[in-house]
């Protein structure tokens, strides 16, 4: 026997409510400020600091600044996409479809030994971006898991697949830190 679940049309979407929450607003504000601060640093004092580095450290600086820029670009894209949900410009379902173009796992920082060669300010920006990436991933999993669960409500296997996916994501985050 198959039991179909119906969604109450008057129900409030937890995921869409989360996109409008103070948590998201703070994350958006902090994320966009970090993007601006990083751009200012890399175009200004960071450029001067990089010229003073030895060859090996300069290579690490170039690599890590590219990783940092790429990571922040993906995070800013995710934040802007979900701000559009918050402001009613698109639905969460549309955001879920568009977010496949954004990689929240983009450009993990290098190893601690290499990062130690970098100027302190760049190390701080990298650490803050990694923390932001973790927070965005967590929020993304919360927001889109609820949407995916609603879509897959008729599929009895999807719940088990979702539990497996969540377990592997938690394990992957633990091993990354």
Cα(43)–Cα(32) distance, rounded to whole angstroms? 17
Q: What is the pLDDT of residues 6-40, one digit of tens each?
A: 344 444 455 556 666 788 889 999 999 999 999 99
Helix (H, G, I), strand (E, B) or coil at 144: helix
Cα(58)–Cα(55) distance, rounded to whole angstroms? 5
Cα(78)–Cα(95) distance, rounded to whole angstroms? 9
pLDDT at residue 6, rounded to an integer: 39
133 vs 175 pLDDT, higher one = 133
Total-model pTM: 0.72
What backbone torsions phi and psi does residue 24 show, to the nearest 5 degrees? -65, -40
pLDDT at residue 106, rounded to an integer: 75
Question: Which domains, and CATH codes, for the chain?
Answer: 14-176 (1.10.8.930)
Q: What is the pLDDT of residues 49-77, one digit of tens each?
A: 999 999 999 999 999 999 999 999 999 99
Q: Identify the band that residue 136 occupies on the pLDDT scale cut at 50, 70 and 90.
A: very high
């Amino acid at each position: 026997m198959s039991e179909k679940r119906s969604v109450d049309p008057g129900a409030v979407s937890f995921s869409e409510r989360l996109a409008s929450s103070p948590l998201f607003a703070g994350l958006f504000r902090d994320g966009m400020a970090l993007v601006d601060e990083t751009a200012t640093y890399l175009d200004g004092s960071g450029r001067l600091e990089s010229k003073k580095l030895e060859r090996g450290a300069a290579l690490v600086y170039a690599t890590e600044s590219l990783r940092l820029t790429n990571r922040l670009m993906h995070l800013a894209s995710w934040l802007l996409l979900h701000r559009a949900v918050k402001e009613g410009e698109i639905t969460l379902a549309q955001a879920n479809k568009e977010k496949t173009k954004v990689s929240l796992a983009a450009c993990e920082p290098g190893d601690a030994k290499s990062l130690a060669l970098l100027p302190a300010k760049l190390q701080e920006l990298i650490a803050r971006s990694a923390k932001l990436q973790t927070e965005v991933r967590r929020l993304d999993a919360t927001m889109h898991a609820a949407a995916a669960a609603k879509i897959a409500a008729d599929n009895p296997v999807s719940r088990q697949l979702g539990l497996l996916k969540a377990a592997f994501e938690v394990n992957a985050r633990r091993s990354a830190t």
